[in-house]
């Protein structure tokens, strides 16, 4: 085990020094953001490559045909309801879903057809307060063989990533094994804890973190805060990372809560701005995305501009997913689902102007996950202390998109 779940937090320097000694150990697995107070997802990544290569995702390739300039999004059903502070959502093989409760620290399984909820169990060590708690979930890229579920959560001392074995044959409430710490020492705060995790096409584990309200951490490459991290399933730095002994993949982020890959295996991330611009970024290894020096599109040397930006009142983005040639982005304060059509031969601008759907129809939208070629799972977030819950909240909605 990488470290005792409740042990002292390792500094990045100490952690790097421990990597070599522990490499052979097998592991089981300041203000409110965007005026919303929400550091705010995980889009489901594209299918892993068969080779299991640890190389970074492929460079952009030229798309044969871009998506249409105008699309559509329609809620076709409510899968389940009465969820409490849902945050992370992950799809299981076969179509069922796992959902985390930020404030209660629990994980439930949702039947993908009936919507029936089954309690898997509680995650020990979760300390829910402010924007912290049990956040992102991810299913191992080799789930059929290892039955491992990964979780990102806040403890009394840090944010960390753990993995737990899942045994559906055990009684409800007792189906999760003891957490194994994969990565620890991610700074925590009352705001800006990041929290989205996802396995990429390269079978590596990615995580979006926040700068906890301490803006200087985003530019400090020795800190794990305000970053996108890339690691092996055991939490080790990956060959091909910008620095061989570090899991830091990109930096200069304020609060990343959306991660998704397009069909060309390009990594996209949604990020909360402060007062002016929320962002959708195309992630490059080693890229500096500017915070706190710049916010939004500035064209300043040394910083990577976002591909698209929104006023914070229109977005406050959390989860993102890829479907039908577009990135789909859930908005918290904006209470809408954004469609950003992509062009495979240009990363500078979307293929066409982003479109908003479902505006103010379902309240705050937290997480969006691909449910097939033209379907999305969309999670509302009205019981998180900032929304206005209605009867049935919170819900998982099935959305048909084009």
What's residue 31's pLDDT? 38
pLDDT in tens, 342-363: 987 656 788 999 999 999 999 9
What's residue 14's pLDDT? 35
Residue indicated by tokens 């990102």: 152
pLDDT top residue among 4 and 389: 389
Residue 4 has pLDDT above 60, yes or no: no
Residue 109 forms beta bridges with which residues?
98, 118
State the Cα–Cα distance between residues 108 and 118, nearest whole angstrom: 5
Q: Which two tokens stand for residue 290?
A: 């500017």
pLDDT in tens, 368-390: 999 999 999 999 999 999 999 99
Q: Are the C-beta atoms of 164 and 176 separated by less than 8 Å?
A: yes
As a whole number of Å, the CA-based R_g of the chain is: 19
pLDDT band for 23, please (50, 70, 90 cuts).
very low
The helix (H) or strand (E) run that includes residue 15 is: helix 12-22
Residue spans of alpha helices (H) in 31-156 = 143-146
- For the beta carbon of residue 292, count every other beta carbon within 10 angstroms: 16
What's residue 65's pLDDT? 80
Q: Are the C-beta atoms of 388 and 380 separated by less than 8 Å?
A: no
pLDDT in tens, 222-234: 999 999 999 999 9
Q: Are the C-beta atoms of 188 and 129 separated by less than 8 Å?
A: no
State the Cα–Cα distance between residues 30 and 9, nearest whole angstrom: 24
State the Cα–Cα distance between residues 175 and 166, nearest whole angstrom: 6
What's residue 347's pLDDT? 61
């Amino acid at each position: 085990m990488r470290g005792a779940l409740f042990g002292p937090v390792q500094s990045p320097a100490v952690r790097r020094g421990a990597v070599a000694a522990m490499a052979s150990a097998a592991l089981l697995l300041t203000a409110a953001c965007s005026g919303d107070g929400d550091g705010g997802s995980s889009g489901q990544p594209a299918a892993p490559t068969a080779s299991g290569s640890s190389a970074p995702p492929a460079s952009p390739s030229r798309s044969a045909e871009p998506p249409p300039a105008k699309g559509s999004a329609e809620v076709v059903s409510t899968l389940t309801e009465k969820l409490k502070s849902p945050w992370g959502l992950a799809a299981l093989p076969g179509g069922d879903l796992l959902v985390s409760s930020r404030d209660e620290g629990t994980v439930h399984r949702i039947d993908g057809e009936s919507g029936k909820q089954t309690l898997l169990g509680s995650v020990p060590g979760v300390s829910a307060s402010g924007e912290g708690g049990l956040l992102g979930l991810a299913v191992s890229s080799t789930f059929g063989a290892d039955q491992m579920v990964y979780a990102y959560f806040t403890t009394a001392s840090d944010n960390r990533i753990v993995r737990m074995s899942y045994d559906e044959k055990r009684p409800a409430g007792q189906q999760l094994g003891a957490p194994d710490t994969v990565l620890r020492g991610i700074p925590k705060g009352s705001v800006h804890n990041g929290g989205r995790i996802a396995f990429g096409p390269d079978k590596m584990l990615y995580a979006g973190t926040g700068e906890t309200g301490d803006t200087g951490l985003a530019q400090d490459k020795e800190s794990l805060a305000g970053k996108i991290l890339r690691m092996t399933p055991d939490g080790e730095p990956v060959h091909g990372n910008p620095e061989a002994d570090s899991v830091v993949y990109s930096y200069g982020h304020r609060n990343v809560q959306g991660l998704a890959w397009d069909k060309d295996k390009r990594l996209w991330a949604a990020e909360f701005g402060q007062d002016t611009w929320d962002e959708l970024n195309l992630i490059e290894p080693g890229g500096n995305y500017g915070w706190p020096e710049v916010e939004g599109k500035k064209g300043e040397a040394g910083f990577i501009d976002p591909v698209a930006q929104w006023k914070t009142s229109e977005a406050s983005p959390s989860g993102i997913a890829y479907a039908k040639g577009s990135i789909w982005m859930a908005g918290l304060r904006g209470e809408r689902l954004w469609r950003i059509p992509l062009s495979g031969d240009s990363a500078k601008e979307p293929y066409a102007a982003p479109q908003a759907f479902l505006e103010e129809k379902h309240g705050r939208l937290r997480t969006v996950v691909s449910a097939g070629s033209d379907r999305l799972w969309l999670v509302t977030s009205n019981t998180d202390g900032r929304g206005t819950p209605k009867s049935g909240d919170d819900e998982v909605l099935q959305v048909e998109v084009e």
